[in-house]
Every structure is written in structure tokens, then in C-alpha cells.
């Protein structure tokens, strides 16, 4: 089987098309702080508008726990979408109720409506096939076809992602197709040298992707909070830094496996150690084998890779033809501990080949640090979905669209 794309649905002029996007954007005081996911949905929406389809856009936002919650409303997203599309976008105050039906019935060819947060209905995320199916059937009343384009949720068996695709004629949008093209290039015959850069807080979040990619990569670079478990596995003391003691044996296994496979595993040579977890905390640079040798002793906490490590990582990245990066190198939200992440991001912009930022916190970091999406080969919209794909897992939201 292969992925069903927009072309498989034929002419959609005058057709009500439900478009399942991932518009799960960060909000602060009711304002969108990063509209990357909204902008990522535009190619598919514009293609459908150009065909004269009547669009019913739906998405989740946050975790409202199956009930309406004003702070998770998609109203600001509908407003931003209107600005980006350059045309009015109707907004329904519910998901499958009177407001949604009224908004949809008022659509003309090429018009767009956004319905309220799908997760305001408990059926969207229910573990019960029956409950999810019931909500999906209600959603199906709003449309004649489904275009699934929320890559960030394809690893979830949810009503709008999985069940609805079995009720209506369904196909993947351009965003999902583009994501799969890039991820396929990362797993099947990537250009070499191929380097994977992993960061973020926990090793346990990356176990699957490390196992799946180790046989495929030339270099593996480890930073972020997870680096301290690797350093501890080598026998180094890490003070009060994040440490998953229950993963030490697993990490030692990865270190051995990398050596046996000839994979160059590059671990930090130094780190920025702080007196505490705070933006204004006193901090120093310490060698990786002497993290407790600072004036903070065993209470010091590592919050970023050090400058020597950042330089080594950047050189390895620039020398590669394919690079996948997932997870910040430090607490980039605090300026004092953002240098490592910024150095890695800049190096990715200088890759002569394919550079991929693996969604989630990595995507947020590059934008917050002043980089443009166009500086990279690809910025994924799905952190968890990208990782599960790279782990070799089956993703229900893709399988239902014919992907194998």
C-alpha cells in the first residue's frame, strides 16, 4: 500500500472537506507565541481553497481534559489563520453542535470555517473504540471527505485522526506527505556522513530512536539533560544534574553497541554548571570529568553543554550530509544556558545536504533564538510522531491512510 494523497479524492469543488490540522500552538495571555504550525498548514488549505472546496478545519489545542475550557479555545488560531490566508475564517463555538453546523452550512465554495477544540469532547481521545467512533460519526456529519494533515497527531489513535478516516473518503494533505518524504530520507539510504544529534531532558524518551538509528548513523551526538546519564554511565559524577539511574545499564549497552558498530559516539567534554535551576543562577564551565569540582560541589546542576562541546558538535554537524536533531542542548529558555542550543542550530543551517529539526522543543528553540524556518532543510511539526516513526513504530493515523 502507499499513502493516499489529495489527488486520490478527485475534484473537491463544492465539497465539504474536513481538514484535520495540528494547530496546537503555544499561547500566552490569549496570544499565539509561535505560529509555525498554523503556517505549516497553509499549503494544503490553499490547495483546497484553490479547488473550490468548502473547508471545515479542526484541531486540538492543549489538554483540556474532555470539557470546554476558555484558555484552550481555538479562537486566536482562527483569527491568525484568517490573517495568513488573507480572507475571513468563520469560527464555531463548539465541535459538533449547533454553532458548528451553522458555520458549515453557511460555507460557499472556497470558504473556511474552524470548529472549536476537538478535545473539548471526551470522545476525541477516549480509549473506548465505541466512544471515539460515536464522536467521529458526529464529525462526519460536517463533511463529505477528510484530509488528514496533522502530522503531530498521527501516532495517536484518536477520533478525528483514526476513526473519522474510516468513515469518510480520506487522504493525506501536503504537510503529512512532506514529513514522510523527509523521514523516509532519514531512514532509507541517507546521504553520508549521517549524524544524529539528541538532546532534551530524558534518555528514557529517546530509547527507541537510539536503538533504531544506531545501525544507520555514522555519528551520534548526545547533549541536553540526557547527557548526564551517559556521563554517569562512564563513571563520572554529575552532582545535582538530571540523572536517570535506572537507565545506566541501558546507556552502557548503547556505548558498547556504538563502539562495535563503528558509530562515532560524541559525548560532552564540558558543561555549564549552575548553582541552581534559575535564569540568574551563578554558573561556571566545568570539564565533563570534574562536574563536582566547581565551587558548587555536589549541588551544582548542569544546564547546558559547554563551549568546547558546542564547538566539537558544530564541526561534526557541518561535516555531515544528513543531520537529524531532536532535543535542546540546554535550558534554552534561559539566556545564560542557551548558547549550546544556538551553536547547534547555527551549524545545522550550514549543512551541505539535508538538515532536519525534529519538532517539539527543538522547533520552538530555533524560532525563539531568532532562526527562520527557511534556514533549515526541514522543521518537523511533530516531535513525538517523528520520534515514533524513527523508532520504526506503526502509526495508526498513517496506516489508516494506506501507509505501510
pLDDT digits (tens, 9 = 90+) for 10-31: 999 999 999 999 999 999 888 9
Q: What percentage of the chain exceeds 70 in pLDDT?
A: 100
* Residue pLDDT, tens place only, 24-50: 999 988 899 889 899 999 999 999 999
pLDDT score recorded for residue 404: 75
* Residue pLDDT, tens place only, 105-149: 999 999 999 999 999 999 999 999 999 999 999 999 999 999 999
326 is in an annotated binding site: no
87 is in an annotated binding site: no
Distances (CA, A) of 54 to 86, 116, 139, 228: 16, 17, 15, 52
pLDDT score recorded for residue 383: 76
SS3 per residue for the chain: CCCCEHHHHCCCCCCEEEEECCCCCCEECCEECCCHHHHHCHHHHHHHHHHCCEEEEECCCCCCCCCCCHHHCCHHHHHHHHHHHCCCCEECCCCCCHHHHHHHHCCCCCCEEECCCHHHCCCCCCCCHHHHHHHHHHHHCCCCEEEECCHHHCCCCCHHHHHHHHHCCEEECHHHHHHHHHHHHHHCCCCCCEEEEECCCCHHHCHHHHHHHCCCCCEEEECCCCHHHHHHHCCCCCCCCCCCHHHHHHHHHHHHHHHHHCCEEECCCEEEEECCCCCCCCEEEEEHHHHHHCCCHHHCEEEEECHHHHHHHHHHHHCCCEEEEECCCCCCCCHHHCHHHHHHHHHHCCCCCEEEECCHHHHHHHHHCCCCHHHCCEECCCHHHHHHHHCCCCCHHHHCCCCC
pTM assigned to the model? 0.88
pLDDT band, very low/low/confident/very high, at 363 (cuts 50, 70, 90): confident
62 is in an annotated binding site: yes
Angle between helices 360-368 and 339-348 (to 10 degrees): 90
127 is in an annotated binding site: no
pLDDT band, very low/low/confident/very high, at 219 (cuts 50, 70, 90): very high
pLDDT score recorded for residue 20: 98
Is residue 1 over pLDDT 60?
no
pLDDT score recorded for residue 34: 87
353 is in an annotated binding site: no
24 is in an annotated binding site: yes
pLDDT band, very low/low/confident/very high, at 206 (cuts 50, 70, 90): confident
359 is in an annotated binding site: yes
Least confident of 298-302, 338-342, 387-391: 387-391
Tell me which residues are annotated as active site: 37, 202, 360, 384
Burial class for 183, CB neighbours closer than 10 Å (0-12, 13-18, 19+):
buried
Question: How much is the average pLDDT of 337-345?
Answer: 97
Across the chain, mean pLDDT equals: 95
Amino acid at each position: 500500500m502507499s499513502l493516499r494523497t489529495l489527488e486520490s479524492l478527485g475534484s473537491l469543488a463544492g465539497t465539504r472537506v474536513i481538514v484535520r490540522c495540528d494547530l496546537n500552538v503555544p499561547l500566552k495571555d490569549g496570544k499565539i507565541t509561535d505560529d509555525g504550525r498554523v503556517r505549516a498548514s497553509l499549503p494544503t488549505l490553499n490547495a483546497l481553497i484553490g479547488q473550490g472546496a468548502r473547508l471545515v478545519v479542526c484541531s486540538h489545542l492543549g489538554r483540556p481534559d474532555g470539557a470546554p475550557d476558555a484558555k484552550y479555545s481555538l479562537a486566536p488560531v482562527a483569527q491568525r489563520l484568517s490573517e495568513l490566508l488573507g480572507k475571513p475564517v468563520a469560527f464555531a463555538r463548539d465541535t459538533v453542535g449547533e454553532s458548528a453546523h451553522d458555520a458549515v452550512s453557511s460555507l460557499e465554495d472556497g470558504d473556511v470555517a474552524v470548529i472549536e477544540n476537538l478535545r473539548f469532547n471526551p470522545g476525541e481521545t477516549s480509549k473506548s473504540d465505541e466512544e471515539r467512533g460515536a464522536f467521529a460519526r458526529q464529525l462526519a456529519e460536517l463533511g463529505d471527505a477528510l484530509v488528514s494533515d496533522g502530522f503531530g497527531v498521527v501516532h495517536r489513535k484518536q477520533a478525528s485522526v483514526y476513526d473519522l478516516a474510516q468513515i469518510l473518503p480520506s487522504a493525506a494533505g501536503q504537510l503529512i506527505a512532506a514529513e514522510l518524504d523527509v523521514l523516509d530520507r532519514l531512514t532509507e539510504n541517507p546521504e553520508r556522513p549521517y549524524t544524529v544529534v539528541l538532546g532534551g531532558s530524558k534518555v528514557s524518551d529517546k530509547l527507541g530512536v537510539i536503538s533504531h538509528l544506531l545501525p544507520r548513523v555514522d555519528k551520534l551526538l548526545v547533549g541536553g539533560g540526557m547527557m548526564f546519564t551517559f556521563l554517569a554511565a562512564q563513571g563520572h559524577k554529575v552532582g545535582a544534574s538530571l540523572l536517570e539511574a535506572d537507565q545506566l545499564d541501558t546507556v552502557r549497552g548503547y556505548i558498547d553497541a556504538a563502539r562495535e558498530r563503528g558509530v562515532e559516539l560524541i559525548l560532552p567534554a564540558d558543561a555549564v554548571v549552575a548553582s541552581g535551576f534559575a535564569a540568574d543562577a551563578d554558573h561556571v564551565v566545568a570539564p565533563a570529568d570534574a562536574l563536582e569540582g566547581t565551587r558548587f560541589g555536589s549541588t551544582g546542576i548542569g544546564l547546558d553543554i559547554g563551549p568546547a562541546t558546542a564547538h566539537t558538535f558544530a564541526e561534526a554537524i557541518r561535516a555531515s550530509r544528513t543531520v537529524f536533531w531532536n532535543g535542546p542542548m540546554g535550558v534554552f529558555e534561559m539566556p545564560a544556558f542557551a548558547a549550546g542550543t544556538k551553536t547547534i542550530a547555527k551549524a545545522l543551517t550550514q549543512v551541505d545536504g539535508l538538515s532536519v529539526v525534529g519538532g517539539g522543543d527543538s522547533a520552538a528553540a530555533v524560532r525563539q533564538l531568532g532562526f527562520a524556518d527557511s534556514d533549515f532543510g526541514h522543521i518537523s511539526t511533530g516531535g513525538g510522531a517523528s520520534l515514533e516513526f524513527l523508532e520504526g513504530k506503526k502509526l495508526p493515523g498513517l496506516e489508516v491512510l494506506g501507509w505501510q
